[in-house]
Amino acid sequence: MLKKEWDYVNKILKKIKNIRNLLQDESMYVIIVYDVNVSRVNKIKSFLRKHLNWVQNSVFEGEVTKAEFERIKDGILRIIDEDEDSVIIYQFPLNFMPKREILGLEKNPIDDII
């Protein structure tokens, strides 16, 4: 096979691989709550805003892929002081979403975001 055909085949294989990775990188739903020193609140809030939906003071939610999830955790670890700050991540598969109920004000309605 000529080099030109081989390059073409390689390109196709690469595309198939990317699509397969995307498919395998199943998404999940995460809720992140944080309790951090006031000096770091703005930094963690603006970081998480890039990836997830702000729903309430110190609470973010959203659908992410595995790869995004790892990037979010790395980003949080770069911001917080692990001896002082606390971040809890609840993670579930998309088909086991929790029932979600609001009492009082809904500060940032999720359905307006998605």
Q: Applying CB under 8 A, which part among 3-11, 13-21, 45-53, 94-102 lies near a copy of itself?
A: 94-102
CB 62 within 8 A of CB 32: no
Helices 38-49 and 66-79, interaxial angle, to 10°? 160
Within residues 27-56, the interface with a copy of itself by CB under 8 A covers 31, 33, 35-36, 55-56
Is 35 part of any known ligand binding site?
A: yes
Number of residues engaging a copy of itself in binding (CB under 8 A): 36
Q: Are 85 and 34 in contact (CB under 8 A)?
A: yes
102 touches a copy of itself (CB under 8 A): yes
Q: Which residues are at the interface with a copy of itself (CB under 8 A)?
A: 31, 33, 35-36, 55-59, 73, 76-77, 80-92, 96, 98-107
